[in-house]
Each structure stands twice: as structure tokens, then as C-alpha cells.
Structure 1
Amino acid sequence: MASYLDAGALVTSGIVLGGSYTEVLALDAGTVGVLLGLQTLMFALGALCGGRLGDLFGRRRVFTLSLLLYAAGIALLIVASPLWLLHVGVVAVGLAIGADLAASLALINEESPDGHKGKMVIFSNILWIGGIVVAMGLSAAVGSWGVLGGRIMFAHLLVVAIVVLVLRFALGESAEWMAARRAADAPGEPAGIQFSRAGQLFRAPVVFSVVALGLYYATWNLGASTMGSFGTFLWTNLTGGGVAEYSRLSLLGLPVGFLGGLVFMRVVDRPARYAWFAGGSALILVAWALPALLGANRFTLVAVLLLSGLGNAFCGEGIYKVWSQELIPTLLRTTAGGLTIAFARVVAALAAFVTPAIALADPALLFWLLFAFTAVANAIGLLWVPRLPKARDLEDVPVVARLQREPPPPTADPDGAGDQNR
């Protein structure tokens, strides 16, 4: 449900702040860009801090406390007036969803059985789509109601957050994390990546996985973030359509992505994953090429929704989440997840400050930029990531290095034959 709530908050903020609240609260394009960019920056900061805290103090504590902050921030966004409450609300929600994501993904992965870990992470991503579907559905129903409609959309998130918070108190801590923590705290030099060594993230070979994950997620996410945060803005300003109309059209692509995610769950833990990833990546490129070549109109923007909805089921957010669990050792997992999420969100936040202006001045340029960044992401995912070592291999790197440094044990054999035999 972390994924459901996080996606719901991001999409609802984009719809409400970019549409439902705009006229009554006199939000111009610059203010909308600042609010959504600020939320994204706080997402980054929350992921960075929450990720490290998840490795230090456990996954459960982080995502329970983050949900309390989430509920408080959503409550402020419901109130909405005066304007400064919107700023405080987006800060609180951004921090909460950032801290929540890395810790919850790690718990899902670590508590899933071998051979099904990728499947369960992808299932969490399907719930991410579920959060988008419900937000879009509510917008289709109440998006034309102005401030009242926006408050209803945020109220839905508050109710779900309270229910999930109550349920979360019944969850236990990650057994895998607790075992790794005990091993790291044991007397002597523990096996694997050590508990206190966050600096290991910036040393070979772990650093290569961190850089690849960060670059892939950041470059892919620019397109997803643009449509998630500014889809309503693009539709209303470039095509002359309405908020509720865009929300209804958006629902066309989401069931396609949902069904695609169910298919990907069946193959994500198998070698066939690579071919499905390549196909999904190609669809995303086609999606951005259409408005770049044919212009941003109703037909091309609907095509973007449909093609990206299907393509993203096999690449992008979902596969990043799987890789972030597979490639990073246990006691660095949420730290690395928070770091790469933070990097991607900072890039998206910087882009958010100028996206409305670029869209109004030169729509074709905006979509060509998204096409180029997606091409970079595809190259990283297809050519670099498959060459990276898995976490289970990295866990033993410090041990191997230590054994290589140590001299052979003393022996009573004067001619050294015993050492040779060993």
C-alpha cells in the first residue's frame, strides 16, 4: 500500500494543483511549477534520509513514521487555504512518500520467498498503478467540481492512509535485515558488507550498480514525471480539453498497464525478463516520438497514454524496483534505494520548474527531449545493467578481500609441504 498511497499522492497533486485548485486559488503556471517541483524535491530528501534510516534502524519503523507524516500533509492539502498551507502540505507529503518507498520495497523483497522476490516487487508496482487508477477515476467523477472536487480527492488518500497505518502496526520487521544486522554486530569482522559502512556504496563494485540504477531511473522518470505531474496541464493548454475529460482518457491506458504488469509478474524472475523489458522500452520510445513528430494534439497525447501504459509495465519504475533489490546488498539496500530515488527526483524537480514554460513555448522540443532521455535509459537497461553483479555475490566481497590480505596460518611443517597440500 506504500506504492498505492505514494502514486495516489503524486497524481492527485498534479491534477488538483494543476487544475481543480487553479482558478479559485489563482495559481498561475509558475506557482504550479513551484509547488509540484517542491514536492518532488522533498520526495528526494525523504528518500535520501529515510533510505539510510531504514538500513540503520529497520524498515518497519521508517515506513510507519512516514505514514503519520503523510496523513498530516494530506490534511493540510485538504484545507488548501491560505496558500502557504499548500507549500507546507507538499513538503510533508513529499518527505513522507520518499522515506516510505525505499523501506517498503526492501521489506517486500526480503520477506518474499526465493524465486518470487521480483514477482512481489512487481505486484507492489501494480498497486502503484492502482493508486493512479483510483486518482484518475475520482478526477473523472469530481474533477469539474473545483476546490470541492480537489478536497474529495485528497480526502480519499487521507482515509486510506489512516486504515493502512492501523494495519501496519501488525507487521513485523524484516527477518533478512535482522539477520544481517546481527551478523554485522557480531564480535570480530562480520561477513559481507558491514552495517556501518555507507561508504561502501561509493566503492567498486557496488558503486557501479548505484550509478547505473540512478541514471536509469532518472532518465526514464523524466517522461513519467512529466505526464504524471503535468498531464492535465498539457491536455488543457495544448489541446483545449478539460480536466475531467483528460482524467477519463487517462483511464484507458491504465488497465492496459495493469494487465501488462500481471503478465510481467509471471516472467520477471525468469531469463525471459530481458526480452519483455526490451519490448516495453521500444514502446516508450514510440510513444514520445509521436507528439514530437506529429505535434501535441488529442490523438498523439492519447497515444502516449496507451503506449506508455503498456510499455511501462515491462520497464521503468517496476524493473528499477526489482533491480534495486537484486543488485544491492542487504545492509546498504534502502540507503542505495533512497540515494537513487533522491537523484531521480531532484532531476525531475529541476525539470518541473521549466516544463510548463517549455510546453507552452515549444511543445515539440519538450517531447524530443523526453524521447532522448528515454533512449539513454533504454541503453543503460539493455547494455549495462545485465553486466552488473548480483547482491548475493557482492555480500562476500569484503570477506574475500580480507582472506587475500591475511598471511597463511602458522605450521609446524619445516619444509612447507603441508602448506602446499593445503
Structure 2
Amino acid sequence: MTPNARETTAKNPWWTATIAGMASYLDAAAIVSTGMGMVLFEKEFDLGPAALGQLSALLTVMIAIGALVGGRLGDKYGRRKVFSTTMGIFAAGALALVFATAPWMLFLGIILLGFAAGADLPVSMAMIAETAPPGKKGKMITFSHILWMVGVLAVQLIGIIVGEMGTTGGRILFGHLLVMSLIVLVLRAGLPESPEWATSRTRAENSDTIAMSSLKTLFHSSYVVPLIATGLFYAIANVAANTNGQFSTYLYVNVAGASVTTASTIGLIAFGCSFLGLLATMKFADTRWRMPVFIAATAVSTIAFLVPAIMGTTTPTLAIMAVLYSLGGAVAGEPMYKVWSQELFPTIYRSTAQGITIGFTRVVAAAIALFTPAIINGGVQVLFIFLVTTTLASCLIGVLWLAKLSKAEPSTSDHEQESTPATDARESMTMA
């Protein structure tokens, strides 16, 4: 790529945000495609309930492992190198699933797909933040979550078309992942390295403090506090989102007595409400109204779960819950975690820290999902009270803890002179 072309790309942060943010699109598309695709593969590959559960759990675990590994490598070797490599691995996983002829190929495909999706997420978010113009970091990070939702919508629309095609339909679903990952791989070849990361790396090399960015130093520095805070916030806030995503149809059909069609229709309406919530996040994330809007969104989410808890689990109460939570959760959930994660960590730790918190959150989500069906069967009101509790707990962490932490870098310019690794090391030793 010519220098002029690279300069043009660097001056178009929205293009960078879109191409890097496709990690979120593919993460969501991989999760939903696996859920649909394994059901479509069920008959040909003789997949029983145990195998289906193992494949689903394997995807979650591999995303967690990928986030840990990819985040660390992104800080060590650069954003561009890592998220180009991960796209190649993602494409290989999708290819294995498209042409699978035996169950072992399904497991291999899911391992590659999950690892690559997880490894890409923290690196891509760091890239978006580090190329965002001053005062627009929160807006552009939130945009990546819109791409996540578009990934869900795209697979659902494809699923409507191929849902009755059996194995062929499953191959088409994973073929979509293959095509999109190859397109992203080609487009990412035109992106320059994050200038913020490159500058940070150069300073570290010049001062002989490369070891400063090690995991040991991270856990013995002042940044371990925001690491714990963002990890707890994301894991706790994600409980409601994960439960709603995995078990909403189950609640409609097995508790409220509605049909899958009804559940899907309400889900589509709620999906639109989530876009409205995300637009609100994009508008206020970089302003003084961030926390008031965050608190208001938490209140809306809390009311959402109180409706079926108090009025009973019926189709109307679940519909009200879906609409309200789609609005509130799009502000007071994962999008806000993404914003805080960019602000609270310096460049040399940003990707690593996100990899750790993403991995932790995915493991927590998988563990809670194991017990959710039993909770529903034992008394569904208990589930909603539990979700009210986790929603309020995440809000308290956000208001009383995260909002009071100092940003790691100046907010006036994302590309101004930042503290050097040597300075960070001195501060770390002081705080330790």
C-alpha cells in the first residue's frame, strides 16, 4: 500500500472503526450461526443433546481463551498484525464448518472460530479507540456494538431463508461467515498500524522498558484497580444480556405459552429498540451527560425485570420487559464497558486488559447459563429478581467506582504526548 493511501486511510477514522469493528459483527454472527447451524447439522451428524451442549460450551470457552491470548499479543506485537492473523484463523474455522463431513470437523471449526473471534475483539476495540478523533472515542466504540447487532440481524435473516434446508442451510450460514471474514481480511490489509500503539512501542524500545508492558507489571500496578472494576462491571451487567439472549424464547414458549413466531416477532421489535438505545449512547458517551443517562438506563432495565417479577410471566409482560431492557441495556451494559475499557488503560495495557475482562465475562456467562434452566423450572420469579439484583449491582459499580477512576490518558487528544512506559513504571512501583 502506498504512503498516500495509508495517509488517506488514517484520516478516515470511521472507515477504520468499521473495518476493525467487524470483529463485533463476526463475533455475534458466529454465536448465532453456531446455535442455528448445529441444529441444522443435527440429523446428518447424529448430534445428540450432549454434543450440541458441548459445541455451544466449546464456542464460549474458546472465545474466552482467544480474548486472553489475542489481547496480550495485540499489546505486544501491534493491533494490525494480530487482527489480520485472527481473520485468517476465523476464515479457516468457517471453512472447516462449511465442508464438514464428520463430527470432529465441527469441533475443529468451532475451536478455530471461537478462538479467532475472541482474539480479535480486544485488539479491534483498542484500534478503534486509538484512531478516534478527540472527543469521539466513546461514540466510535459504541458504533462497534451496532455492528455486533447487525451481525445478529444478518444471521437471523439468512436463517429465515435457509431454516428448512437442513445441512445445506447450515453450510450456507457458515459460508456467510467465510465470505465476510475474507472480505474483512482483504480490507484490513489497507489499514495502517495504530499510531498511538506505534508511538508507545517506540518509546518503550528507546527507554529499554519493554518489560514494562508485561502481565506481572500490570497486576502490580495502579491499573489492576480498573482491571477489577471493569471485569466485575462487565461480568455482572452481562448476566442479564446473556440470559435474555439465550433464554427469552424458552420463557415465551415454555412459561408464557406463546409460539416461537410470537417470540421472534417481539424479539425483532425489541431489536429495533436496542438501536435507539445505542444511538443514545453514541450521543452522550463523550459528554457530561454520560452518567445521568447511564443511571436512567439502569432504572429502565430494572423496571423491565420487575414487570414480570411482580405481574407474572405472560406474553405481554415479557414483551414489555423485552422492549424496556433493549432500550436500557443498550446504554447501561456492554457498550459502556467498552467505553470505560478504552479510557482507563494506557496503550501498552489496553488490549491485554480487555482480553482478560472479556475472557472472565464469557466464563461467568457460561457458568450461570448452566443453572438458568433449573432456576426457571424452580420458580421463574426468582430469575427476574436475580436479574434486578445484578442490574443494580452493575450500576453501583459504574457510579461509585468506575466513574470515579482517573482516565489513563488525556481526554483532550488521543494522540497527544502520553506518559511514557518509564513514567508508568515509576508510578506502578509507587502504587504497589
Match status 1:184 vs 2:204: yes
Match status 1:338 vs 2:355: yes
Q: Give the structure 2 partner of residue 4 of structure 1.
A: 25
Counterpart mapping for 1:381-392 below 5 A:
381-392=398-409
Match status 1:251 vs 2:268: yes
Gaps of 5+ in 1: 407-422
Work out the CA distance in 1 between the residues paired with 2:103 and 2:255. 27
Work out the CA distance in 1 between the residues paired with 2:308 and 2:106. 33
Match of 2:213, SS state, is coil
Match status 1:154 vs 2:178: no
Match of 1:71, SS state, is helix
Q: Give the structure 2 partner of residue 417 of structure 1.
A: none
Work out the CA distance in 1 between the residues paired with 2:254 and 2:380. 11
Within the candidate set 89, 99, 114, 2:109 is matched to: 89
Q: Give the structure 2 partner of residue 399 of structure 1.
A: 423
Match status 1:217 vs 2:237: no
User: 1:228 is matched by which residue type in structure 2?
Assistant: G
Q: Give the structure 2 partner of residue 49 of structure 1.
A: 69
Q: Give the structure 2 partner of residue 265 of structure 1.
A: 282
Work out whether residues 36 and 352 of structure 1, in 8 Å CA contact, stay in contact via their aligned partners in 2.
Answer: no
Q: Give the structure 1 partner of residue 15 of structure 2.
A: none
> Is 302-311 or 208-217 further displaced after alignment?
302-311
Match of 1:314, SS state, is helix
Counterpart mapping for 1:58-73 below 5 A:
58-73=78-93
Match status 1:112 vs 2:128: no
Work out the CA distance in 2 between the residues paired with 1:74 and 1:34. 18
Work out the CA distance in 2 between the residues paired with 1:81 and 1:236. 34
TM-score, length of structure 1 as denominator length: 0.86
Work out whether residues 110 and 174 of structure 1, in 8 Å CA contact, stay in contact via their aligned partners in 2.
Answer: yes
Q: Give the structure 1 partner of residue 370 of structure 2.
A: 353
1:159 Cα deviation after fit: 1.7
Q: Give the structure 1 partner of residue 306 of structure 2.
A: 289
Work out the CA distance in 1 between the residues paired with 2:347 and 2:166. 46
Q: How many residues get paired?
A: 402
Q: Give the structure 2 partner of residue 131 of structure 1.
A: 151
Question: Quick one: structure 1 residues 31 and 361, their matched pair in 2 at CA, closer, same or farther if it must change by over 3 Å?
Answer: farther
Match of 1:170, SS state, is coil
Question: Quick one: structure 1 residues 11 and 175, their matched pair in 2 at CA, closer, same or farther if it must change by over 3 Å?
Answer: same
Work out the CA distance in 1 between the residues paired with 2:178 and 2:376. 32
1:22 Cα deviation after fit: 5.2
1:322 Cα deviation after fit: 0.7
Match of 2:70, SS state, is helix
> Is 293-302 or 219-228 further displaced after alignment?
293-302
Work out the CA distance in 2 between the residues paired with 1:15 and 1:82. 18
1:20 Cα deviation after fit: 4.4
Work out the CA distance in 2 between the residues paired with 1:371 and 1:240. 23
Question: Quick one: structure 1 residues 259 and 319, their matched pair in 2 at CA, closer, same or farther if it must change by over 3 Å?
Answer: same
TM-score, length of structure 2 as denominator length: 0.84
Match of 1:278, SS state, is helix
Work out whether residues 220 and 428 of structure 2, in 8 Å CA contact, stay in contact via their aligned partners in 1.
Answer: no
> Is 256-265 or 312-321 further displaced after alignment?
256-265
Work out the CA distance in 2 between the residues paired with 1:293 and 1:23. 41
Question: Quick one: structure 1 residues 291 and 37, their matched pair in 2 at CA, closer, same or farther if it must change by over 3 Å?
Answer: farther
Match status 1:168 vs 2:185: no
Q: Give the structure 1 partner of residue 345 of structure 2.
A: 328
1:70 Cα deviation after fit: 1.4
Work out the CA distance in 1 between the residues paired with 2:185 and 2:380. 42
Match status 1:33 vs 2:53: yes
Work out the CA distance in 2 between the residues paired with 1:403 and 1:136. 49
Work out the CA distance in 1 between the residues paired with 2:37 and 2:115. 19
1:71 Cα deviation after fit: 1.8
Work out the CA distance in 1 between the residues paired with 2:63 and 2:223. 24
Deviations 1:74-129 (A, max 9, x none): 23334566333333222222111110000000000001111111111111111112
Question: Quick one: structure 1 residues 86 and 226, their matched pair in 2 at CA, closer, same or farther if it must change by over 3 Å?
Answer: farther
Work out whether residues 209 and 421 of structure 2, in 8 Å CA contact, stay in contact via their aligned partners in 1.
Answer: no
Work out whether residues 112 and 120 of structure 1, in 8 Å CA contact, stay in contact via their aligned partners in 2.
Answer: yes
Question: Quick one: structure 1 residues 118 and 90, their matched pair in 2 at CA, closer, same or farther if it must change by over 3 Å?
Answer: same
Work out the CA distance in 1 between the residues paired with 2:117 and 2:428. 43
1:361 Cα deviation after fit: 4.5
User: 2:363 is matched by which residue type in structure 1?
Assistant: V
Work out whether residues 235 and 361 of structure 2, in 8 Å CA contact, stay in contact via their aligned partners in 1.
Answer: yes
Gaps of 5+ in 2: 1-21, 411-417
Work out the CA distance in 2 between the residues paired with 1:397 and 1:280. 37
Percent sequence identity is 42
Work out the CA distance in 2 between the residues paired with 1:96 and 1:354. 27
1:365 Cα deviation after fit: 3.1
Question: Quick one: structure 1 residues 26 and 359, their matched pair in 2 at CA, closer, same or farther if it must change by over 3 Å?
Answer: farther
Question: Quick one: structure 1 residues 219 and 90, their matched pair in 2 at CA, closer, same or farther if it must change by over 3 Å?
Answer: same
Deviations 1:142-179 (A, max 9, x none): 43554444433332222211211111111111000000
Of structures 1 and 2, the larger Rg is shown by 1
Q: Give the structure 2 partner of residue 14 of structure 1.
A: 35
Question: Quick one: structure 1 residues 243 and 137, their matched pair in 2 at CA, closer, same or farther if it must change by over 3 Å?
Answer: farther
